[in-house]
Amino acid sequence: MPEIQLGTHTLRSHGTRVARIHMHDWFILLLLVIIDAVLNIIEPFHRFVGRDMMTDLSYPLKDNTIPFWAVPIIAILLPLAVFLVYYFIRKDVYDFHHAILGLLYAVLITAVITDAIKDGVGRPRPDFFWRCFPNGTGVFDKVTTDVQCTGDKSVIKEGHKSFPSGHTSWSFAGLVYLSWYLSGKIRAFDRSGHVAKLCLVFLPILMASMVAVSRVDDYWHHWQDVFAGGLIGSVIASFCYLQFFPPPYDIDGWGPHAYFRMLAESNNGARQSSADNGSQQVQSSELQAVTLYIPPQQGGDTRSNSWDSSPMLGAPQNVRTH
């Protein structure tokens, strides 16, 4: 396992560098926000709703137990608070940045898929009758028996967005991602047998499940809607987490891939620098050990040449012996 370096990679020292590396990821994230906004503006498919189908669509119109504005708090801000606490403890910008990026991708990809399916399917909500006929008097086509709604257009439009549940898919995307994150940080699968760790891992999933239950209790969704929403959110969250972090059962499951890659590159650079310095020292020692040597001339002439080895630059002094 690579050596852990605490407090050496903070937002101040490495934040800009990490964000610059993933600039295109943040750009695509912004594009997902725009796509999801467009999907919420366009009109969903108006599925045929006949008189005989109203039996299962006449549940009372109620307010949301969990309002729309609370969903981003549950799915995004709550996990973000956990990431922030861990950053203050460990001071690792790689973990903090990748945890946030993965979370936002999990939620926004889930949102785009959910809203695209909503618009394409156009399934009426369980309270569709009261959305369509707020005065309680149904109006139907005499030939097709299709509904002829008399209610507010925006309320009717929302009534065609039952499948899948957006509250549920968002909640499972953010909180299942948080469960993955917590399981890695507390080493829930380190084979030590501390099963109590799973209570912390399953707590976010329980919260997401209660959000799903509230959608059925409020008669805003059928049970199939929340089941599909939970499945979509869980699958997308798992893919996004594993894109940035090793599986929690891995020996390095506590940190992001980028952190260990950075450590490996730093260690390789240090070893290479050390090797280069050692090579330069060896070469310097060899140069200092070299002395100028001129072999004596061979042949009949017994004259020998003696050269001044002084470092002063000057003409050589020849000493001739007869």
How far is residue 168's CA from residue 231's CA, in Å, rounded to a whole number?
9
CA neighbor of 82 nearest in space, from 184, 9, 13, 231: 184
Q: What is the pLDDT of residue 271?
A: 58
Helices (runs of H) and strands (runs of E) counted in the chain: 11, 0
Residue type, 291: T
Q: How far apart are CA 254 and CA 91, in angstroms?
A: 14
More reliable by pLDDT, 198 or 253: 198
56-70 in b/e form (b: 16+ CB < 10 A) is ebbbebeeeebeeee
Rounded to whole angstroms, the Cα distance separating 228 from 246 reads 27
**Which of 67-76, 86-95, 131-140, 216-225 shows the lowest mean pLDDT across its residues?**
86-95
* pTM of the predicted model as reported, rounded to 2 decimal places: 0.78
Residue 9's pLDDT is 59
What pLDDT, on the 0 to 100 scale, is given for residue 277?
A: 56
Phi-psi region of 87 (alpha: psi -120 to 50; beta: other; left: phi over 0): alpha
Q: Are 109 and 115 a contacting pair, CB within 8 Å?
A: no
Q: Is the pLDDT of residue 312 over 60?
A: no
| 129, 133, 135, 138: CA torsion to nearest 10 | -90
Query: What is the biggest distance separating any 2 CA atoms in the chain, rounded to whole angstroms?
Result: 139
Closest C-alpha to 102, from 39, 22, 5: 22
Give 91's contacts (C-beta < 8 A, 6+ positions apart): 6, 7, 8, 9, 10
Task: For the beta carbon of residue 265, count every other beta carbon within 10 angstroms.
Answer: 10
When pLDDT is averaged across residues 287-316 and rounded to a whole number, the result is 46
| Element at 126 (helix H, strand E) | none
Predicted local distance difference test score (pLDDT) of residue 213: 97
Residue 292 has pLDDT above 50, yes or no: no
Report helix, strand and coil shares of the chain as percent, to nearest 5.
60, 0, 40
Do 198 and 188 contact (CB within 8 A), yes or no? yes
Catalytic residues: 167, 221
Higher pLDDT, 292 or 85: 85
Match 């309270």 to its residue by tokens. Answer: 127
Q: Which is more confidently placed, 146 or 308?
A: 146
Number of Cβ atoms within 10 Å of the Cβ of 201: 19
pLDDT at 321: 44
Q: Could you tell me which residues come within 8 angstroms of residue 206 by beta carbon, excluding any fewer than 6 positions away? A: none
Q: What is the pLDDT of residue 20?
A: 79
Q: 93-121 vs 257-289: helix axis angle to the nearest 10?
A: 140
Residue 177 has pLDDT above 90, yes or no: yes
Structure letter (DSSP) for residue 53: G
With residue 273 as reference, give the H or E element that holds it.
Answer: helix 257-289
What are the structure tokens assigned to 9, written together?
């990679």
Rounded to whole angstroms, how far apart are CA atoms 150 and 224?
Answer: 28
DSSP, res 68: T
- The pLDDT mean for the chain works out to 83
Question: Is residue 91 scored above 70 in pLDDT?
Answer: yes
